[in-house]
Amino acid sequence: MSAFDWANRNVLVTGVSGFLGSWLAQALVDRGARVVGLVRDEPSQENRNYHRVASRIVRVRGELEDGNLMVRLVNEHEVEAVFHLGAQTIVGTANRHPLSTFTANIQGTWNLLEACRQAPLVRRVVVASSDKAYGDLERAEPVSEDAPLRGLHPYDVSKSCADLLAVAYHKTYGLPVAITRCGNFYGGGDLNFNRLVPGTVRAVLRGQAPVLRSDGTFRREYVYVKDAVGCYLLLAEKLEQPGVAGEAFNFSAQAPLGALEMVHEILRAAGRPDLTPRVLDLPEARLEIPYQALDSGKAHRVLGWTPRWSLREGLQETIEWYREDLGARENPGGP
């Protein structure tokens, strides 16, 4: 148990209505923090995780692209800690609309960092980067934090740039900021059913064969959302310790899986190994990075972080979340 006390601290979470943001906001509120959440578009009622916590936080409508709003937000709410999760996160959307992705992910990041630089009360900032900031890896082996950032496609480039901006604000201005580079998050509450895990789980719960857009060979790290919340909180809590500010940290289970392998893990966890996945191998999927794996040794050494949930445990909790959610949605008049 961490000795750090979040009680009565003013904490800003950008992207609070998103998948990870809603889980993180809930964890902070449960710890007694006063959470201010930036919301661009009010989510639908289907976003149960967000609406469960929405009434317990201060919600501010607006966009990261609005620099004046960022300054007002950080100062008027006397923010001490910032979790910058807000971004355009869908790879396909980024490929179709690169300029809006660059504006949200790059300009939005510098707007927020500049607001934090001008705010005397800000003591800790955590910026969400991604394993995709590393771009295409030359070798099929886990990458460490000292690898170059060389995103090639719009989303990857936007994360490489945001990552470098965070380092620049620390090195130049001493901003107390650190960076997370994580694998693919999964867990209950991800309502983007184009993603592998929620799409597969929904299909399985409906008794349908899951569908893969790729050829099934692309390998990724998968991080359970509760482990992700834990690593974000831990990083923020340790930001004042030597060797943390200005640094990036990989967080992963260090067990990359191919997409088809992950689908079969879900089928086993759901008790439906009889369903046969359909592999489409669509052309747009071929633009994605074929192999990504992270070396989390630095997070273990410096922060003392290790994942708490196994893949099987995380998948079982995830499946139960969607079972309850889909049951409530598809049988609203039921008991």
Annotated catalytic residues are: 155
Q: Coil, strand or helix: which one is 45?
A: coil
How far apart are alpha carbons 163 and 149 in whole angstroms?
A: 9
Q: How many CB atoms lie within 10 A of CB 143?
A: 20
How far apart are alpha carbons 250 and 299 in whole angstroms?
A: 7
How far apart are alpha carbons 253 and 307 in whole angstroms?
A: 6
| Contact partners, residue 138, CB within 8 Å, separation at least 6 | none
| Contact partners, residue 334, CB within 8 Å, separation at least 6 | 327
134 in Cβ contact with 288 (< 8 Å): no
Alpha helix segments (H runs only) across 144-220: 154-173, 196-205
In the chain, % helix, strand, coil (3-state, to 5) comes to 45, 15, 40
